[in-house]
Amino acid sequence: MPQQANQPLPAGYVLNGYRIEKPLSSGGFSIVYLARDETGTPFAIKEYLPSSLPLRTEGVEVQLTDESNVAMFRHGLKCFFEEGRALAMISHPNVVRVENFFRANETCYMVMQYVRGRTLQFHIQRHRHEFTEAFIRRIFIHLMNGLREVHSSKLLHLDIKPANIFIAMEGRPVLLDFGAARITLSEEAMKLKPMYTAGFAAPEHYRFKPEELGPWSDIYSVGATIYTCIAGTPPQAGDQREEKDRIIPLRTLARQEYSEDLYQIVDDCLQLEFMKRPQTAYELQRRLMNEPGSEKRGFLETINRPLSKLFSR
Amino acid sequence: MRFTIFQDSRLGDRKGNEDRVGYSYSRDVLLMVIADGMGGHERGEVAAEIAVNEITRRFRQEARNRLRRPFEFLVSAIQSAHRAIVSHAVEHNLLECPRTTCVACIVQNGRAFWAHAGDSRLYILRSGTLIAATSDHSKVQQMIDAGEITAEAASRHPDRNKIFSCLGGVVPPVIDTGQDVALEVGDTVMLSTDGFWAQISAGVLGSMLRKQTVVDLLPGLLTEAQRRAQGESDNLSVVAMTWENQDDPRVADTQSMDDTEFATSTNTTEQLDSKGAVIAEDVTDEDIERAIAEIQSAIKKVPR
């Protein structure tokens, strides 16, 4: 994670009616805080603050001293607005909800619903040996509900990875961080610099040919995420695979038994040629729901079970 | 505007020319730009080419009328050139991002504005004297500034080619802008790469310009600069403009151009595909307010 050189807002600071409690995380372009409104309801507030620019060495105001920084700062704001726009359009239990968006301290803030839980990345690091096939299928079947919603709003997430999937206390996966999201068919959004995470981005994403990007690009990332759940490490990066494909077969990395069907699903999602992948989140969801061998599990049965039970075998 | 302009780029004793040079003008605004692609880095000429093309493209897009904020334009154009180089490297999977220096100058309303990154230079010469110059973003310049070495020693220093700011690097370029200068008749604004300035001092240049025009003087001086390098000449490039008497009918006046016309000349080899280049339009306060209003209305519209 890139270092944030900038000062976080101090605890107790009241921002537009929200009292800051503490920073939750910080990344290359933002700091996320836990904050509460007057009624005590918790929220996650994301503050736009590019870490590469020295913007706040003291106090709370963001200070743009260098005129060359102004252009960079404002350019980055565009991406932040894209994220706000993307999230504002969606209301779904498997997608983080944005509640408010405002300008203050010479920068912008996005107020999001606060979800108690941990990222999938955290669980992979701590509990990978406990990731049963049932657990993986369940998480991703639900996540596909959220992704279907995203795609049906004509959006692509474009940065799906374990760190951007939150597992709420009750076991519900929530898709986070739409910082790379793009509104498809919008010229403007497609001009923005592509962002990606090695290992999770589809090969066409590296080429940055907007016309090749589609739901199948997010499907590749979902495949890479399932791969990571089983293998513990992400697959070889998509751009390198195109040069020389040395992806390690998932079967050889698994620490427990998974069905041939699940391996096949992951392989299909990770196809270099995007036409060979499941083309939609719905198609992938159907395949995940079709667990062979085991008696058909009721879809509704999987909802609202405590996480501890999901892990048990 | 009435001015005389000259530009040339020579190979020197190198196998390829990694320098790119260009100028472009409309009725009221002139742009001059030079980029020196860095040897030792993969495809330095690609970086220089993208820089000159991108800055020229931005100029033609925005300088139909006078630029409202010339310094801001220069900085933002150099930054978008930097991003275009990085995007090119990403797009073509280059192991190392190509790099280049860059110096660019705008002349409008009888004033010169400039910005630079690296060790390509701008000089303004008046009556034989250097009245303004860029300060190289180089290690030796830092040592001179710190009083560690003399300018004379710097010209022979083994690290004289090391620079700390360039386009296409891992870190965004350090871009310096100069205090703008009101031009007087006879002033010459010259941009050059180190292949030229390392051989011909500003003093020599100034005294010779008192007797000759840029068009008459510079071709011979480029040859002389190459000769002085004794078979080891780097690529040499200059673009120089002399500000003329604005009422002298013998000098062509840009006033005759129509208001959408641009005269452009560069030594770039091709118009690079600008797809993939990141185009950062300026984001204004109104844009920000509008975006926030849109997002807030979307939040209200979607049922929670």
Confidence of residue B275 (pLDDT cuts 50, 70, 90): very low
Q: How confident is the model at residue A65 (pLDDT cuts 50, 70, 90)?
A: low
Residue A313 confidence class, pLDDT cut points 50, 70, 90: very low
Among candidate residues A41, A181, A160, the one with its CA nearest the CA of residue A111 = A41
Task: Looking at the complex, report in whole angstroms how far the Cα of residue A155 sits from the nearest Cα belonging to chain B.
Answer: 15
- Report CB contact under 8 Å: B295, A193: no
pLDDT in tens, A7-17: 889 999 999 99
Tokens of B223: 């040859």
Note whether A88 contacts B291, CB cutoff 8 Å.
Answer: no
Is residue B267 very low, low, confident or very high in pLDDT (cuts 50, 70, 90)? confident
- Write out chain A residues lying below 8 Å of B302, CB-based: 88-91
Query: Which residues, other chains included, contact B135 with Cβ-Cβ below 8 Å and sequence gap of 6+?
Result: B141, B145, B176
Average pLDDT over residues A222-247: 91
How far is A187 from chain B, CA to nearest CA, in Å? 12
- Please report the pLDDT score of residue B120 as a whole number: 96
pLDDT at residue number A170: 86
Average confidence (pLDDT) over B86-103:
85
* Interface touch B72/A90, C-beta < 8 Å: no
Low-confidence winner among A188-197, B112-121, B209-218 (lowest mean pLDDT): A188-197
pLDDT at A293 (0 to 100):
63
Q: What is the pLDDT of residue B271?
A: 35
A20 CA: distance to closest CA in chain B (Å): 21
> Phi and psi of B256, rounded to 5°?
-75, -10
Q: Does A244 touch chain B (CB under 8 A)?
A: no
pLDDT digits (tens, 9 = 90+) for B216-229: 899 899 999 999 99
User: In this model, does residue B113 exceed pLDDT 80?
Assistant: yes
H-helix or E-strand spanning residue B152: helix B151-154
- pLDDT tens digits for range A167-218: 998 889 999 877 666 654 344 444 444 556 778 989 888 776 677 888 999 9
Instruction: Report the distance separating Cα A87 and Cα A110, nearest Å.
Output: 10
Largest CA distance in chain A: 65
Residue B236 tokens, joined? 């040499």
Q: What tens digit of pLDDT does each residue of B188-203 get?
A: 999 999 999 999 999 9
Which domains are assigned to chain A? Answer: 14-113 (3.30.200.20), 117-311 (1.10.510.10)
Instruction: Provide the number of CB pairs (under 8 Å) joining chain A to chain B.
Output: 79
Q: Answer with the residue of higher pLDDT: B250 or A125.
A: A125
Per the prediction, chain A carries an average pLDDT of 82
Contact A176, A153 (CB under 8 A): no
Report the gap between the CA of B70 and the closest CA in chain A (Å).
Answer: 12
Chain A residue closest to B175 (CA)? A68
Domain B3-301 has CATH 3.40.50.300: no
**pLDDT value for B165:** 92
Interface contact flag, B278 A239, Cβ < 8 Å: no
Higher-pLDDT residue of B47, A181: B47
Query: Are the beta carbons of B291 and A97 separated by less than 8 Å?
Result: no
Q: Please state the rounded mean pLDDT for residues A41-64.
A: 81
Look at residue A179 in the predicted model and tell me its pLDDT.
Answer: 67
Per-residue pLDDT for A302 more than 70?
Answer: no
What's residue A180's pLDDT?
64
Comparison of pLDDT for A234 and A184, the residue scoring more:
A234
Cross-chain residue pair B299–A98, CB shorter than 8 Å = yes
Please state the domain extents for chain B.
Answer: 3-301
Residues A60-84: what's their mean pLDDT?
75
- Does residue A310 register a pLDDT over 80? no
Nearest CA to CA, how far is A271 from chain B (Å)? 20
Q: Tell which A residues from 83 to 112 touch B, by Cβ distance under 8 Å.
A: 84-85, 88-91, 97-103, 108
Choose between B272 and B6: higher pLDDT.
B6
Q: What is the pLDDT of residue B192?
A: 96
Give percent of chain A with pLDDT exceeding 90.
41
Sign of the torsion formed by the C-alpha atoms of A187, A191, A195 and A196: positive
Mean pLDDT of B130-155: 91
Mutation choice for B interface testing from A16, A64, A68, A155 by most B CBs within 10 A: A68
Q: What is the mean pLDDT of residues A144-157?
A: 88
Contact A193 B303 (CB under 8 A): no
